[in-house]
Amino acid sequence: MAENCIVIKFGGTSVGDAKAIERVAAIVRGRLPQRPVVVVSAMARVTDQLLQMARAAGNGDRKTALTLARELRERHYNTAGELLGTALFTQFHSDLGTEFEELEELLRGISAVGELTPRTTDHVASFGEVLSSKLVAAAFSAHAIESTLVDSRDCIVTDDTFTRAAPLYDETNSKLREQVQPLIAQGRVPVMGGFIGATRTGITTTIGRGGSDFSAAIVGAGLGAERIEIWTDVDGMMTTDPNLCPDARRIKVISFDEAAELAYFGAKVLHPATVLPAIQKNIPVYILNSRNPSCEGTRIAARAPHCKNFFKAIAAKRRITIIDIAAPRMLLAHGFLKAIFDAFDRHRIAIDVVSTSEVSVSLTVDSNESIPALAADLSRLADVKYEGRKAIVCLVGENLREVPGIAAHVFGQLTDVKIRMISQGASEINLTFVVDEEQVPGIVQRLHKTFFADPDPEIFA
Ligand code: ADP
Ligand code: ASP
Ligand code: MG
């Protein structure tokens, strides 16, 4: 019978500097009786910086790439210097030195070729979590927590869809049981980097931006953990992004479905895929604040209790492009929608919101996708126009289909706003619309004021 354990994941800001890592050590120490497995993100902003150096190298700008790499080296050494005693630091210095030489070697190689592939992008990006996991494991030793570094590339087996690889669960689960389970049984704390994995043949991959939450869920599901804790820099899942709306309230408990919907539509506090492996195993997920560890955070559970308010939360996803496809002659003939969706499939571009009329289809996609190539492909079928700088606003709540007049309630607040698309009913729990990006703060603040003026004390803190 496997040992019980919990998985605790710390995001970038929670391991952003020496003070933050000390807080992490204190949180882990307090949970030793529950046998924690620790998953860490790269230090705050590091993944962005690594991708920036990869791009510089890809453009042949070796100097910029190496300068950025040196800054990264300094930051990690300085943090380690603050955290570790002399003996540990000397050992760690040479260990980290090897990683940085490999990174610099890789950047030189990329700039010599002047070409950056998704595969090398992942190799560069992986250093963030490789370095942070080493740093955190060393800091635990310095704080007398018996821990063992586990290289996630030895456990998380993925396909070769570089930059957003999908985990291969059977292989991953058996590796986790082989490599991580025995450490738990010995009373040691395994420390793993999130976000990264490797193919069956050992080539480094990443599982998508923000993917350390997903890693935590993969590990938690694979080990049959009792709970998964996602430690971040806010008190939990809030009624809206606290950066947009300072009076956002903490949601005490929310269902898996609602959390997934919110995460998908922009509440970046949680990676959308996170909830999946956890739902399947019915493992509760908590979102907690590493700067305020005594706060109860948000519990994500299979079912949420009834809420007196219409909505649980409002999310916004910016950097959206609307694609309008008009086919006047075809009148959306049989097979036309299929041809359109096939084109999206060929370009591996996900669609968020769809709306159709007799002669046209509008869809939204993430602006980061390579839209010109898709548009060229689609223009063989119909007239295609696309427009960026849009945003999706999504209101999430239970049983919205059952509530009369809900749309009037929402749009009654927005009579002066140009709404580009509306969607409701695909799931019972969301009402979604598309607007110009710059209108997001005003709209969210207005809706928040209306729908959270009198928050249900059972659900909101
Ligand atoms: P981490 O580095 O810990 O993974 P992220 O930056 O990915 O943290 O996610 C936390 C951030 O998510 C918060 O600082 C907050 O700005 C943002 N956020 C967006 N929507 C929400 C929401 N509804 N509730 C809480 N945080 C949100
Ligand atoms: N470091 C990765 C990123 O910034 C993964 C994560 O933080 O979840 O995307
Ligand atoms: Mg995150």
pLDDT in tens, 200-213: 999 999 999 999 99
267 lines ligand 1 (CB under 6 A): yes
The answer to whether the beta carbons of residues 232 and 152 sit under 8 Å apart is no
Q: How far is residue 381's CA from residue 372's CA, in Å, rounded to a whole number?
A: 15
What's the order of all strands across the beta sheet hosting 6-10?
A: 147-150, 189-193, 36-40, 6-10, 227-232, 285-289, 298-301, 253-255
Atom 21, ligand 1: residue with shortest CA distance? 241
Residue 2 has pLDDT above 60, yes or no: no
**Is the C-alpha dihedral spanning 209, 214, 218, 223 positive or negative?**
positive
Atom 6, ligand 2: residue with shortest CA distance? 210
Residue 307 has pLDDT above 80, yes or no: yes
The pTM is what? Answer: 0.91
pLDDT at position 304, please? 75
444 lines ligand 1 (CB under 6 A): no
pLDDT at position 183, please? 98
Atom 1, ligand 1: residue with shortest CA distance? 11
Q: How far is residue 114's CA from residue 346's CA, in Å, rounded to a whole number?
A: 27
The answer to whether the beta carbons of residues 45 and 57 sit under 8 Å apart is no
Residue pLDDT, tens place only, 244-280: 999 999 999 998 888 888 988 888 898 877 878 887 8
Q: How far is residue 266's CA from residue 287's CA, in Å, rounded to a whole number?
A: 16
Atom 5, ligand 2: residue with shortest CA distance? 210
Say what angle helices 118-142 and 62-83 make with each other, to 10 degrees.
20
193 lines ligand 2 (CB under 6 A): no
Q: How far is residue 109's CA from residue 395's CA, in Å, rounded to a whole number?
A: 47
> What's the whole-number mean pLDDT along residues 426-433?
86
Return the structure tokens found at 233: 């820099």
The band of 360, judged by pLDDT with boundaries at 50, 70 and 90, is confident
Shortest CA distance to 433 belongs to which of 406, 393, 383, 395?
A: 393
**Ligand 2 centre and the CA of 166: distance in Å?**
16
The type of residue at 221 is: A
128 lines ligand 2 (CB under 6 A): yes
Three-class secondary structure of residue 187 per DSSP = coil
pLDDT at position 1, please? 43
Atom 8, ligand 2: residue with shortest CA distance? 210
Residue 149 has pLDDT above 60, yes or no: yes
The band of 332, judged by pLDDT with boundaries at 50, 70 and 90, is low
Q: Which ligand is nearest to the CA of 440?
A: 1
Q: How far is CA 223 from CA 29, 150, 173, 238, 389, in A?
A: 21, 14, 7, 29, 42
Q: From the CA atom positions of the chain, what is the Rg in Å?
A: 23
Shortest CA distance to 67 belongs to which of 109, 96, 17, 108?
A: 108
The answer to whether the beta carbons of residues 157 and 203 sit under 8 Å apart is no
Can you tell me which atom of ligand 1 is nearest the CA of 239? Answer: 23
Q: Which residues pair with 323 in a beta bridge?
A: 363, 386
220 lines ligand 1 (CB under 6 A): no
Q: How far is residue 231's CA from residue 228's CA, in Å, rounded to a whole number?
A: 10
The answer to whether the beta carbons of residues 79 and 134 sit under 8 Å apart is no
> What's the whole-number mean pLDDT along residues 152-157?
98
Residue pLDDT, tens place only, 53-75: 999 999 999 999 999 999 999 99
The answer to whether the beta carbons of residues 244 and 445 sit under 8 Å apart is yes
The answer to whether the beta carbons of residues 238 and 287 sit under 8 Å apart is no
Shortest CA distance to 430 belongs to which of 317, 350, 338, 344?
A: 317
232 lines ligand 1 (CB under 6 A): yes
> What's the whole-number mean pLDDT along residues 388-415?
90
Return the structure tokens found at 439: 């209108």
Burial class for 288, CB neighbours closer than 10 Å (0-12, 13-18, 19+): buried
Q: Which ligand is nearest to the CA of 251?
A: 1
**Ligand 2 centre and the CA of 341: distance in Å?**
30
Three-class secondary structure of residue 126 per DSSP = helix
Tally helices (H) and strands (E) across the chain.
14, 16
pLDDT at position 87, please? 83
Who surrounds ion ligand 3 at CB < 5 A? 11, 210
pLDDT at position 26, please? 98
212 lines ligand 2 (CB under 6 A): yes
What average pLDDT does the chain have?
A: 93
Phi, psi (rounded to 5 degrees) for 145? -105, 120
The type of residue at 355 is: S
Q: Which residue has the higher pLDDT, 220 or 401?
A: 220
> What's the whole-number mean pLDDT along residues 226-253?
95
Q: Which ligand is nearest to the CA of 11?
A: 1
Can you tell me which atom of ligand 1 is nearest the CA of 267? Answer: 20
The band of 303, judged by pLDDT with boundaries at 50, 70 and 90, is confident
pLDDT at position 328, please? 66
The answer to whether the beta carbons of residues 214 and 220 sit under 8 Å apart is no
pLDDT at position 119, please? 98
The band of 330, judged by pLDDT with boundaries at 50, 70 and 90, is low
Residue 106 has pLDDT above 50, yes or no: yes
Indicate the top mutation candidate among 209, 213, 271 to test ligand 2's pocket, ranked by most ligand atoms within 8 A of CB.
209
Q: How far is residue 459's CA from residue 461's CA, in Å, rounded to a whole number?
A: 7
The answer to whether the beta carbons of residues 85 and 141 sit under 8 Å apart is no
Q: How far is residue 24's CA from residue 424's CA, in Å, rounded to a whole number?
A: 41
Return the structure tokens found at 268: 């970046």
In the block, residue with structure tokens 């709404």: 419
Q: How far is CA 167 from CA 78, 152, 195, 205, in A?
A: 34, 12, 11, 10
> What's the whole-number mean pLDDT along residues 306-334?
86
Residue pLDDT, tens place only, 162-196: 999 999 999 999 999 999 999 999 999 999 999 99
Shortest CA distance to 178 belongs to which of 222, 225, 133?
A: 222
